[in-house]
Structure formats: C-alpha cells, structure tokens
Amino acid sequence: MNRSALLIFYFSLCLAILTSCGPKSSDVLRIGMNVEFPPFGYKADSTYVGVDVDLAGKIAEKMDMPYEIIDMEFDTLIHALLSEQVDIVISAMSITAQRSRQVEFSRPYYLAHQVLIYSDKSPKMPDTEDELGKYRLGVLHGSTAHNYIIQTLVDRDLMSMDDLLVYVSNTEAIEDLVAGKLDFIVNDNSAAYGFSRLYPVKIGMKLNTVEEYAIAMPRDGKNNERVNKALQDIIDSGEMASIIANHIE
C-alpha cells in the first residue's frame, strides 16, 4: 500500500470511529417537562416521579426508544418544542386554542379543573368567582389559570393587576401562600392535590373550568404518529388508569 493510500485508509478509519462514537440526539426521545407539578412531575430524593414521568417512560417503551426528561420552566416548554430543543412535551399541559395554533396535541389523557388553594393564613373562602377580584391571587405564568383570571376578572374590571401575582415557579407561589403573602392560589385540582400532600395547604372552591391534559408535539412532527399510537395503546390497555391511580388517590 503506497503512502497516499495509507493516509486515506487511516483518515477513513478515524472518521468512521468519530461518527460511530459521536452523539446521536435523534435516537433519544427528548421529553420536555416542568418537574415541580405534583403529582404529575416532581422530585423525590433527587428522582423524578409522577404521572407524567411514568407516562413518559411508557411512551418511550412503546416507541422502543431511549428517552431523556428535560426539566424546564413551564412557560418555556412551547418555545423549547418549536425551537427543537425537545421532541415532545409531557407536562400536565392543557389543550387551548392559543397553544393549538402553535403545536399539535395528542388525545387527552387526563381531565382536570381549576380550584383555589388556601393556607391557614388565607381569608374566608369567597362565595362566588366574581368575588375573587377582592383578593391577592397567585398564578403560574403562562398557565390556563393565569389566562382564566385575566379573562374573567381583570379584563372585566373585577380585579386590579396589582392583586394578581404571577410566578414562574409553583413552589415559590406555594411558599408565599404559606407565608401569608397571598390570599389564594389558582391552579389545577390535580396540582392542588399534590401540593396538599407536600405543604400545609388545602383545596377550596372549584372554578367553572375544564382542563384536558395532552402531549404537545411539533406540527407534522416525525414522531407524532408513533407518539399518538403509543398513547392510545397505553389508554386502551388500562395502563394510563393504573398510572393515575398510583399517584392520585
């Protein structure tokens, strides 16, 4: 073998090794999730647990793909999906008209509604939703609770924006409620249940809302059909019901 042929051989061999050992991000299902939303996604002893965590594992198993859960703030999840930082979002995300203009949703896998969360420092529970405008309310930024309070109270001049405290973290909101810096938090009943098991808070008034949690995917995404089939199998087999029952009594 002459010198030129030998150099070409070694170059090709090195290139093959680098290619085979390099990262293959397309082979890993990257799942965006806000892991501070018990009982759907939260940390217990540095381990991710919850309904969405178990669902993520089942989806990846049905698709025969390794997966990675990427924890991020809730209001950054859609952007992460659109900018291809994640492949899908499983994060107790409700289907809304606004979100549906940006992403494609699976069929719903859980139904919820908005409630008030209160602590022993909260005032007396209001009798009607219109009375909520008299109180200091906490909501998660970009959540359906945030939009609902804006539309039903602020936009109708029933509440001042000064009394609406918007958080990027549910945990921070709960801590402020316990400390008496808030009167109530508006959040999904599922999250309220989870927080009531971890913090000295309770569930109060049910609001006139219906939430449908679904998996968010990019429009015409390459994995959408497989994700939808996997979710359908999980629901039809009863595995989804078992996951929910395991985390929500």
Per-residue model confidence as pLDDT tens digits over 108-130 = 999 999 999 999 999 999 999 98
The answer to whether residues 205 and 237 belong to one domain is no
Confidence of residue 139 (pLDDT cuts 50, 70, 90): very high
Asked if 180 and 121 touch (Cβ cutoff 8 Å), the reply is: yes
Give a yes or no: residue 84 inside a domain.
yes
Q: Are residues 126 and 148 in the same domain?
A: yes
Question: What confidence tier does 7 reach under pLDDT thresholds 50, 70, 90?
Answer: very low
What is the pLDDT, as a whole number, of residue 27?
Answer: 87
Same domain, 224 and 173: no
Give yes or no: residues 220 and 153 share one domain.
no
The C-alpha angle with vertex 185 and arms to 143 and 195, in degrees rounded to 5, equals: 90
| CATH for 173 | 3.40.190.10
Domain that holds residue 172: 114-209
- Asked if pLDDT for residue 99 goes beyond 50, the answer is yes
Same structural domain for residues 43 and 77?
A: yes
Beta pairing class for 29-33 and 67-71: parallel
Q: What is the mean pLDDT of residues 130-157?
A: 95
Which residue's structure tokens are 């659109």?
A: 82
Do 195 and 216 have their domain in common? no
The verdict on 95 and 179 lying in the same domain is no
Does residue 147 lie in a domain region?
yes
Q: What DSSP string runs through 53-93?
A: HHHHHHHHHHHT--EEEEE--GGGHHHHHHTTS-SEE-SSP
Which residues on adjacent β-strands are paired with residue 88?
31
Separation of alpha carbons 210 and 112, rounded Å = 6
Number of folded domains in the chain? 2
Rounded to an integer, the average pLDDT of 23-31 is 73
pLDDT tens readout for residues 180-231: 999 999 999 999 999 999 999 999 999 999 999 999 999 999 999 999 999 9
Q: Is there a single domain that holds both residue 31 and residue 97?
A: yes
**Do 150 and 67 sit in the same domain of this protein?**
no
Whose tokens are 């109708």? That residue is: 156
Q: Would strands 202-206 and 184-188 be described as parallel, antiparallel, or unpaired?
A: unpaired
- The answer to whether residue 181 sits within a structural domain is yes
Same-domain pairing of 70 and 30: yes
In whole angstroms, what is the distance from residue 88 CA to residue 90 CA? 7
What pLDDT does 20 receive?
A: 43
Phi, psi of 124 (to 5 degrees): -60, 140
Rounded-to-10 torsion of CA 166, 70, 211, 224: 140
Whether 58 and 243 have beta carbons less than 8 Å apart is answered as yes
Same domain, 77 and 126: no
